[in-house]
Structure 1
């Protein structure tokens, strides 16, 4: 059989889906399995055996038609739509494939969860419901971003250059997109001044975080802004003790490192979006997390205190 998995984005959702994709691969170990994704995430799957990765452009009528024609010409037997947005629904509806599994209890999905998703569970749990509806046993919450050999070598060299050793440092990500500065927790400096007594601190982030990280590094730590891509950050995480961040992208990447990732939330809903396998490390104002989207109201992230974060870290016996 020929199998198609659809997962287009965004970064956190792609990372969460990795264990689901691996489970589909095990179930279809004798079949030809393809993954349709976008160019930004193509290389994340290069180390996964028996998966043929096909990139597509996500937007525009021309690209929509081009992708549909490719799907039809490939003559797939089954489609697992892990995206299940308007665009991928159209892919499935016009694919010519009789068996499509997806998130919504409606056409074109033959296999699907019984109810409409309202954020009552983590997105990973919902993806599991999709594959279970298609006769596949549920995946474990174990996201995976394996590093190629050159990335492993790169991180080893970087650690040597910075005089860091295995597990003697922690990763901190204090920034966010400049469009969402309300996600930035304002007490990273104060937290770092406490944690530097136990570990070396590495500040990571992208272009939007450069000014903030330069400011924080004046107090303590190593400025590693823009030093790592997705796979190298996951590999750096595997060498670290734990991580603290207020941004979802590094939360999800570092959840693949099999370390505690302390995620500070306020304006976004942690039950739906926390890093996979890290719910016990979520830090939310008053630590009262609503059960679904309807009960969630955005909070001021500054309501989380330094003591709240230190308390969570101590509960894991890390300091």
Structure 2
């Protein structure tokens, strides 16, 4: 087997949604350098996830330790220097990675954002880097993380989930409670009345919801154990409704039909979550976004329900972005 002529380091620490969204960018890099060894530097919590990504060869992890933890910084510096990378593509473009460029790998060839330039979104910033590196853009606008999705038919059967089902993502990071739409319980009840089965996907920060959410609740304590099962649940859903959070980005990058709910603290443009039949609905105050408005946005897009639907009153006009 011929030894790769180039060794490229791609830096993308996260966050989860941003890393998922970079799938098409990574694919374009791979297509442009088919014989290179491509190594991803990412956060430790994403190591098992990105090992399955078909566009990279190896993973290095960076815990981004505080500056006073010198031992860890020295170990990372030693590792990166010994790799002898021929090129570094900095998709993270953070203050930390700029320090890496200046102090750890100052003699390497870097593709990084020019100082003072702030892109409209993280994805557009990565597209600018591809253009800067003269890498043709074919897939960056259309990430496809089907490689994430396991076959979870056994899981659906175990929990007696019936198709077609609607996947709800009622949570988000605990550090951003303002991104949570507060009416998922009422939405789940309404969807069940319309004849659709409902699967609530709950992360570690919203386990308390499991006791009172109508429909099925899948958590690590209820049978959902991995990134890949999460993607499998989303992949087999007929429609996905979620907040501005990582799993909603997974659904968008799986090519699913769906709707993400955005409040005043989130930018639909910067999120770059709209693609295909996955759209966004923005409200200045998520507490004022009614269940009826969300239903009016999604019901015309849903398949024939498993039961005879109960017609809801009041179907207001809406605008889905």
Shared fold (TM-score greater than 0.5)?
A: yes
The yes-or-no answer on 1:222 pairing with 2:222 is: no
Residue of structure 1 equivalent to 2:268: 270
Going from structure 1 to structure 2, the CA distance change for 1:263 and 1:76 (only over 3 Å counts) comes to same
The yes-or-no answer on 1:117 pairing with 2:118 is: yes
TM-score, normalization by structure 2: 0.81
Matched position secondary structure for 1:237: helix
The yes-or-no answer on 1:34 pairing with 2:33 is: no
The yes-or-no answer on 1:182 pairing with 2:192 is: no
Residue of structure 2 equivalent to 1:191: 187
**Equivalent residue pairs, number:** 287
8 Å Cα contact 1:143/1:276 also seen in 2:
no
TM-score, normalization by structure 1: 0.82
Residue of structure 2 equivalent to 1:146: 147
8 Å Cα contact 1:6/1:82 also seen in 2:
yes
Q: Which runs of 5+ in 2 are unaligned?
A: 1-5, 305-321
8 Å Cα contact 2:201/2:217 also seen in 1:
yes
Kindly provide the CA deviation profile for residues 46-95 of structure 1, in whole angstroms up to 9, marking residues without a partner as x.
22345211222221333333222222221111110011111111122231
Matched position secondary structure for 1:216: coil
8 Å Cα contact 1:37/1:56 also seen in 2:
yes
The yes-or-no answer on 1:132 pairing with 2:131 is: yes
Pairing of 1:54-203 with structure 2 (within 5 A):
54-61=60-67, 62=70, 63-93=72-102, 94-103=104-113, 105-106=114-115, 116-117=117-118, 120=120, 122-138=121-137, 139-144=140-145, 146-147=147-148, 151-152=150-151, 155-165=152-162, 167-196=163-192, 197-203=194-200
- Partner Cα separation in structure 1 for residue 282 and residue 133 of structure 2: 35
Question: What is the Cα deviation at residue 124 of structure 1?
Answer: 1.4
Matched position secondary structure for 1:250: helix
Question: What is the Cα deviation at residue 209 of structure 1?
Answer: 1.2
- Partner Cα separation in structure 2 for residue 51 and residue 277 of structure 1: 28
Choose which of 240, 244, 247 in structure 1 pairs with 2:241. 244
What is the RMSD computed on CA atoms of the aligned residues? 2.3
Matched position secondary structure for 2:212: helix
Question: What is the Cα deviation at residue 7 of structure 1?
Answer: 0.7
Choose which of 12, 16, 19 in structure 2 pairs with 1:11. 16
8 Å Cα contact 2:148/2:227 also seen in 1:
no
Question: What is the Cα deviation at residue 303 of structure 1?
Answer: 2.4
Question: What is the Cα deviation at residue 242 of structure 1?
Answer: 1.1
Residue of structure 1 equivalent to 2:30: 25
